[in-house]
């Protein structure tokens, strides 16, 4: 047993969709969340920059005495998971494995679409993970950069979001996919709009669910689950002012965030 918190990192508020799943699957665990809101988005940044920002963020979480880290950000997971795993001596998980596993399980016709930021799609990380599980699966990947700002503005169910989804997702029209992997923290909030475009016959995959299950397995295997003696504590940190984090974050988490502490991330 180990009652230290789990650290969850994202480029901004989107990783709270992963926190929500961790709260559900691991209700006894304390969580410390860091959102790099001063430097979001990561999705359009270079590989070197994403790695640098990720390592700084994990260093901050380590300074808070965490026992494991989840890179909730798809872009950070796709680009910097291995580097982070080599640098720190706590278990570090990304979201790619969970998303790929669920997509492979869900597809019947072995044709899987992947959507994410430019960074995630250009890295090819989801394709690689899917192929390593089943190399007979065909993948089709498309970045959807406008989805992130639309969700952050609370416009995920609007006609503008629908138009953007029509534009991006027309790429999949002739691909006969039966599964679409939503490879970005923000996209599960757009699921209704995405569903309107792709139709009822396509499985929509949210990597967060399986990621929380994998985390539970990892903590159990090395015997560092929380003993549950105390009610769980959740603490939120952000690199920019906490007010916007609280406002947008509460929408992602579907519950009120009462405080978010500002961190000078350049110090780490």
Give the total of residues touching ligand DGL (CB under 6 A): 17
Site for ligand DGL in 33-62 (CB under 6 A): 40-43
Question: Residue 176, by phi and psi: left (phi above 0), alpha (psi -120 to 50) or beta?
Answer: left
Is residue 7 within 8 A of residue 69, CB to CB? The reply is yes
Q: Specify the residue, 36 or 225, whose C-beta has the smaller distance to ligand DGL.
A: 36
Does 73 qualify as catalytic in the annotation?
yes
Alpha-carbon span 103 to 99, nearest angstrom: 6
Instruction: Please give the torsion angle defined by the CA atoms of residues 54, 60, 63 and 69, in that order, rounded to the nearest 10 degrees.
Output: -40
Smallest distance from ligand DGL to CB 133, Å: 21
Q: Which has the closest alpha carbon to 263: 56, 76, 74?
A: 56
Site for ligand DGL in 119-158 (CB under 6 A): 120, 148
User: CA of 89: how far to CAs of 82, 84, 248, in Å?
Assistant: 12, 9, 32
Applying CB under 6 A, among 56, 107, 179, 185 the residue interacting with ligand DGL is 185
Smallest distance from ligand DGL to CB 259, Å: 22
Q: Specify the residue, 117 or 139, whose C-beta has the smaller distance to ligand DGL.
A: 117
Count Cα atoms within 13 angstroms, Cβ side, for 57: 36
Q: Specify the residue, 42 or 168, whose C-beta has the smaller distance to ligand DGL.
A: 42
Instruction: Please give the torsion angle defined by the CA atoms of residues 158, 159, 163 and 166, in that order, rounded to the nearest 10 degrees.
Output: 80
Smallest distance from ligand DGL to CB 127, Å: 16
| Pattern 69-88, ligand DGL, x by CB under 6 A | ----xxx-------------
Site for ligand DGL in 106-125 (CB under 6 A): 117, 120
The residues, any chain, with a CB within 8 Å of residue 167's CB and separated by 6 or more, are: none
Does 184 qualify as catalytic in the annotation?
yes
Write the DSSP string, 57-85: HHHHHHHTT-SEEEE--HHHHHHHHHHHH
Site for ligand DGL in 6-35 (CB under 6 A): 10-12, 14
Smallest distance from ligand DGL to CB 227, Å: 32
Smallest distance from ligand DGL to CB 181, Å: 12
* Set 8, 16, 26, 73: catalytic member: 73
Sign, CA dihedral 192-115-134-26, equals negative
Scanning the structure block, which residue is given the tokens 């989840």? 70
Q: Specify the residue, 53 or 225, whose C-beta has the smaller distance to ligand DGL.
A: 53
Catalytic (active-site) positions = 73, 184
List interacting residues with ligand DGL (CB under 6 A).
10-12, 14, 40-43, 73-75, 117, 120, 148, 184-186
């Amino acid at each position: 047993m180990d009652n230290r918190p789990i650290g969850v990192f994202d480029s901004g508020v989107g990783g709270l969709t992963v926190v929500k799943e961790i709260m559900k699957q691991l209700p006894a665990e304390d969580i410390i969340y860091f959102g790099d809101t001063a430097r979001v988005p990561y999705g359009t940044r270079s590989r070197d920059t994403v790695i640098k920002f990720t390592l700084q963020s994990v260093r901050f979480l380590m300074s808070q005495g965490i026992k494991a880290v989840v890179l909730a950000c798809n872009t950070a997971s796709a680009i910097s998971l291995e580097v982070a795993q080599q640098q720190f001596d706590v278990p570090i998980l990304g979201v790619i494995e969970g998303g790929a596993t669920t997509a492979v399980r869900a597809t019947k016709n072995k044709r899987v679409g992947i959507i994410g930021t430019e960074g995630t799609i250009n890295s090819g990380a989801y394709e690689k993970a899917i192929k390593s599980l089943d190399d007979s699966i065909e993948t089709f990947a498309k970045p959807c950069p406008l989805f992130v700002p639309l969700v952050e503005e609370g416009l995920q169910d609007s006609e503008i979001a629908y138009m953007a989804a029509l534009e991006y997702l027309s790429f999949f029209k002739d691909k006969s996919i039966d599964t679409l992997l939503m490879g970005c923290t923000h996209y599960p909030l757009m699921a209704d709009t995405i569903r309107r475009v792709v139709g009822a016959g396509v499985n929509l995959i949210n990597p967060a669910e399986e990621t929380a299950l994998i985390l539970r397995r990892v903590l159990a295997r090395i015997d560092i689950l929380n003993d549950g003696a105390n009610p769980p504590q959740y603490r939120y940190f952000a690199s920019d002012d906490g007010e916007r984090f609280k406002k947008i974050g509460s929408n992602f988490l579907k519950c009120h965030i009462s405080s978010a502490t500002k961190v000078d991330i350049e110090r780490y």
